Amino acid sequence: MTHNTRLDLNRRDLLALGTGTVLIAASPLSSHAEQADLDQARRELFGMRPVTEGRVTIKLPPIAENGYSVPLSVEVDSPMTKEDFVKRVAILSPRNPLPLISQFYFSPGSGRAKVDARIRMSGTQSIQAIAEMNDGSLWSGSRETVVTLAACVVL
Amino acid sequence: MASIRLAVPDAANVGEVIEIKALIRHPMESGHRRGARGEVIERDIITRFECRYLDELVFAADFHPGIAANPLLTFYVRASNSGTLDFTWTDQHGTAWSETSALTVT
Amino acid sequence: MKRFAGATLIALIPACSAPPAAENATEIAAEDIVSGSIFLTAETRDLQEDNFANPGYLWVDRGEALFSKAPASGEACITCHEAGLSGVAATYPAYDEKAGRVLNLEGRINQCRVTHQSEPAWEYESEELLSVTAFVANQSLGAPVSVDVSGPAQDIYEAGRDYFQTRRGQFNLSCQQCHTENWGKRLRGDTLSQGHGNGFPAYRLEWESLGSLHRRLRDCDLGVRAEPLPYGDPLYVAVELFLAARSNGLEMESPAVRR
C-alpha cells in the first residue's frame, strides 16, 4: 500500500487542526492576568510612588515560537557604586496567570545591573520591568513579544 | 538529584566585572497546568536564588511560576578580593542546592 | 475573547519563503535535505549551539556520570568504552547480530546493561536511559548520519517507510504528507520541518525536558489524533531507521533544541 495521493494543506485542513486546538487552548489559559492585575502587583511592590519611563532596557525576541522559554535580558543604566546603584528590578506580565514573573536584587558588588533569564509567556504581550534605585526612585521599560502557536497540539 | 551547571571565571583583575552563568535542572511546575484527567498539577518551583561573594550577598532573585523550567541566569559580580563565590537555589519547601567556586583576584 | 487574538494574528503572518516541495514528491531531493534546526528562531538556534546554556546538557552531564559509574553487579560502561563512542550513534539504528533484530541506541544501551552488566534494562524514557543515550549521542555531534539499511535491515526499513506513508488518525494524515510533501510551509505559527531525527534525544521547549525520538513520534501520532505506539515499539524502531536513512549525511545535533 502506502503511496497516498499527495495533499496540499488547504484551508479546510487548517480549520480542522485549528478547531481541535481552540477547544484545548481554552482550558490551560482559563485564568490569566489583565492589565489591572499588573497594576495591582505593581502597587503591592512599590506603593503609589511615581515611576519614570527610562534607564531600563529590556531585550526580548520580536517573535517567540512558543511561550515556554523566552530569553529575557534586562539592563539598568547605573554606575553601580556605593552611592548610586540599582536595588531591585521587578519583571511584570499583563497576560500570564500571575503578573509577577521575577524580582532581581542587585548591590554595588554586582558591578553591573544586568540580568538574563528565560521566562514563560502565555501569549503575545508587553513585558514591563521596574527598577528601584538606592535613592528610592523608580524607572521602567517595556518590550513586546509575539508568541506564536504550535502547529499541532498534543494533550 | 539536582544537576547544576556553572560558568564562572577562576581569575579576575581587581575591579573587573565578571559574568556568571548558572543553570539548574528543575521542572518549575507552575501550578497552572492540568494533567490528563483534568486534575491540577501542584506547584513545585524554586523560589529563591542567591549569590554570595566573600560571604556577602551580591545578587539574588525571587522566582515565580513565570520563570521557565531549568532556570538559567546570567548576572555580574565585581571582583575585589580572592575568595569564594557561593550559589544557592531554594525551592518552595525549603530544600536547597548549593555550589561553590573559587575566584583568584590579582 | 482575548485568547483568540493571537490565533488571528498568526494567520496574518505571511508564509515564509522556504522552497516548495516538488510536485508529487514522495522523497525529498538529496540537495534539499535540511535539519529541523533551520526552522527555529535565531534565539532557539543560539540556545542549541550554546553548549553551556543548552538545557539538554544537564542530561548529557548526568549520562556521563552514569557511564563512568559501576553498577551493583558489573563494570562501568567506561571500562570497555574507554576511548569513548565517537561517531557510533550516527550509525544507529542498526541490525544487531546478537539480538537478531534492529536496535536503536536506547536498545543497544539496554542490551549492554543486560548482557555485560547483568543489570535490568532501563525503562524507556527513564531519566537514566535518556541521560546515557544523550551522552552517547552527543559524542557523535557533527558526525554525518550514516545508517545501513542493506541486508537484514532492509525489511525493517520498509516497514518504517510504510508506517511513515500511511494515513492515520482522526485527521487521516500520514507523516509523509506534512514532512515530505509540505515541509517549509506554514501550519499555524510553525513551519513544517522535514521530520528528521538527527537532533534526538532533544530538548523540546514544549516538553520543558529532554525526550527521545519515540516521545516525538508519539506526539506526532497524537497530533493527528491517532493511537500512539508504546515507547520502544519495534515499529517505532523501524520508523526511526527509515527516518535515519532518509537523513543520511545530515549532521548529528543531539542534544538539539526543538520547539
Chains that touch A (3 or more CB pairs under 8 A): B, C
Instruction: Give DSSP secondary structure letters for B61-98.
Output: EEE-TTBPSS-EEEEEEE--SSEEEEEEEEETTS-EEE
Q: Which chains touch C (3 or more CB pairs under 8 A)?
A: A, B
User: What is the C-alpha to C-alpha distance for residues B71 and B20, in angstroms, rounded to an integer?
Assistant: 14
Shortest CB distance from A149 goes to which of C6, C177, C181? C6
pLDDT given at position B10:
96
CB contact under 8 A, C181 and A6: yes
C114 CA: distance to closest CA in chain A (Å): 34
Report whether pLDDT(A105) > 90: yes
- Cell 557533527 belongs to C142
pLDDT band at C10 (very low <50, low <70, confident <90, very high): very low
Residue C8 has pLDDT above 90, yes or no: no
Chain A to chain C, count of Cβ pairs less than 8 Å apart? Answer: 115
- Cα–Cα nearest to C179, from C47, C39, C67, C78: C39
* Phi, psi (rounded to 5 degrees) for C52: -100, -50
C11 or C173, higher pLDDT: C173
**Minimal Cβ distance to A102: which of B18, B58, B63:** B63
Query: What pLDDT band is residue A35 in, cutting at 50, 70 and 90?
Result: confident
Cβ of C61 within 8 Å of Cβ of B3? The answer is yes
Which of C2, C181, C189 lies nearest to residue A150, judging by beta carbons? C189
Q: Tens digits of per-residue pLDDT, C88-144?
A: 999 999 999 999 999 999 999 999 999 999 999 999 999 999 999 999 999 999 999
Interface membership of A23 toward C (CB under 8 Å): no
Q: Is the peptide bond before B71 cis (omega within 30 degrees of 0)?
A: no
Say whether A29 and C3 touch across the interface (CB within 8 A).
yes
Contact criterion met (CB < 8 Å) for B25 and C53: no
Rounded to whole angstroms, the Cα distance separating C189 from A64 reads 10
Q: Would you call A88 helix, strand, or coil by DSSP?
A: strand
What kind of architecture, by CATH, is found in domain C20-50+145-258?
Orthogonal Bundle (1.10)
B17, A111: Cβ pair inside 8 Å? yes
Which CATH number applies to B4-105?
2.60.40.10
Q: Report the 10 Å Cβ neighbour count for A144.
A: 11
Inter-chain touch A149–C7, beta carbons under 8 Å: yes
ipTM of the complex: 0.96
Give the C-alpha separation, C241 to C161, whole Å.
9
Q: Measure CB to CB from residue C58 to each of B21, B28, B70 and give the nearest one.
A: B70
DSSP structure string for A9-72: --HHHHHHHHHHHHHHHHTTTSS---HHHHHHHHHHHHTT--EEE-SEEEE--SEESSSSSEEE
Tell whether the model's pLDDT for residue C18 goes beyond 70: no
pLDDT higher than 90, residue A88:
yes
Q: Using a CB–CB cutoff of 8 Å, tell me whether A154 touches chain B.
A: no
* pLDDT, tens digit, 9 for 90 and up, residues C49-88: 999 999 999 999 999 999 999 998 889 999 999 999 999 9
pLDDT for A19: 42
**Three-class SS of residue C1?**
coil
**Smallest Cβ distance to B23: which of C55, C62, C209?**
C55
Helix (H), strand (E) at residue A87 = strand A86-92
Residue A150: the pLDDT is 76
- Percent helix / strand / coil, chain C, rounded to 5: 45, 10, 45
CA distance A127 to B66: 12
Environment class of C186 (CB within 10 Å of its CB; exposed 0-12, middle 13-18, buried 19+): buried
Instruction: Please determine, for residue A26, whether its predicted confidence score (pLDDT) is greater than 80.
Output: no
pLDDT band at A155 (very low <50, low <70, confident <90, very high): low
Chain B residue numbers with beta carbons less than 8 Å from the beta carbon of A112 are 17, 76, 78
Q: pLDDT digits over C144-155, tens only?
A: 999 999 999 999
Domain ranges of chain C: 20-50+145-258, 56-138
From the centroid of its chain, how far is CA A117?
Answer: 11
**CB pair distance less than 8 Å for A148 and C43:** no
Q: Measured between alpha carbons, how far is B46 from B27 in angstroms, rounded to an integer?
A: 9
What are the cell numbers at C1?
475573547
Residues of C in contact with B7 (CB under 8 A): 52
Residue indicated by cell numbers 489559559: A29
Sole residue written with cell 567506561: C78
Is C77 considered catalytic here?
no
Instruction: Please enumerate in sequence order all residues whose Cβ is within 8 A of that of A41, keeping only pairs 6 or more positions apart, or say none.
Output: A92, A99, A100
Q: Which domains does chain A have, with CATH numbers?
A: 31-147 (2.60.40.2470)
Q: How many residues are given for chain A?
A: 155
Query: Testing the interface with A: which of B20, B21, B62 to mutate, by most A Cβ within 10 A?
Result: B62
Given a contact cutoff of 8 angstroms between Cβ atoms, the answer to whether A99 and A33 are in contact is: yes
C137 burial level (CB within 10 Å; 0-12, 13-18, 19+): buried
Average pLDDT over residues A16-44: 62
User: Does the beta carbon of A17 lie under 8 angstroms from any beta carbon of chain B?
Assistant: no
Task: Give the number of other Cβ atoms within 10 Å of residue B91's Cβ.
Answer: 17
| Average pLDDT in chain B | 96
CATH code linked to domain C56-138:
1.10.760.10
Cβ C104 vs Cβ C210: under 8 Å: no
Check if the beta carbon of residue C243 is closer than 8 Å to that of residue C175: no
Minimal Cα distance from A97: which residue of B? B32
pLDDT band at C11 (very low <50, low <70, confident <90, very high): very low
Packing angle, helices C234-246 and C213-223, rounded to 10: 100
- pLDDT, one tens digit per residue, over B33-63 is 988 888 999 999 999 999 999 999 999 999 9
Considering only CB atoms, which residues of chain C are within 8 Å of chain B?
52-53, 55, 57-58, 61-62, 208-209
> Within 10 A of A48 (CB to CB), how many other CB atoms are there?
6
